[in-house]
Amino acid sequence: MKSFRRHSATVNAGSMADIAFLLLIFFLITTTISADKGIIRKLPSDCPNIDDCVKDTYERNILRIELNKNQDIFIEDKLVALKDVKQMVIDFVDNNGKSNCDYCLGSKKPELSDHPKEAIISLSHDAFTKYQLFISVQDEITKGYYELRSKYVKNTFNKDINSISEDELLKVRKAYPFIVSEVMVKRD
């Protein structure tokens, strides 16, 4: 009788490494890696002598903006809409257009800042405030400062804000410094 022996079938795996390598290269090239975008902010520099950097601030020069876990915006304990934040920041910082005017004494509103150089925006948020709301409020604050600076450039240099020199930009930043304090409030 004849005996049948079966030989096991073999697969030539010599080109498997090449195929895996080509697939790896394909996926590396075609995959889009999303980069998280952050907020561009310049951190304050170190202060060698703390007494030079700490100064008393009057309460009227601080505009308090609070964001809670219900996604509500409060400015000075009053509920406001997101669209109103920009104008409230402009009014507070510029004191209704009177704070840069040396001859307008007595015409300032007492609930607004003394001067743009003294104005501080305090932005506090709850741990459960949504990121989108926080960024939207920051954008409105930035838009307010941009509008104030644009008006200052137009009135002072009679130019568009995009066409000023570095020296003029430094003067604008000195006239309207962007002072924002950001705090996360933990509530129990």
Q: Say how far apart CA 37 and CA 120 lie, in whole Å.
A: 26
Burial class (CB in 10 A: 0-12, 13-18, 19+), 127: exposed
Domain map of the chain by residue range? 62-185
Q: What is the DSSP string of 99-128?
A: TT-TT-TT-S-TTS-S-TTT-EEEEEEETT
Structure pTM? 0.70
Per-residue pLDDT of the chain (188 residues; tens, 9 = 90+): 566 677 777 777 778 888 899 999 998 888 887 776 666 666 666 776 766 667 778 888 889 999 999 999 999 999 999 999 999 999 999 875 554 444 344 456 777 888 888 888 999 999 899 989 999 999 999 999 999 999 999 999 998 988 999 999 999 999 999 888 888 776 65
Residue whose token pair is 């020069």: 61
Tell me how far the alpha carbon of residue 131 is from its chain's centroid: 11
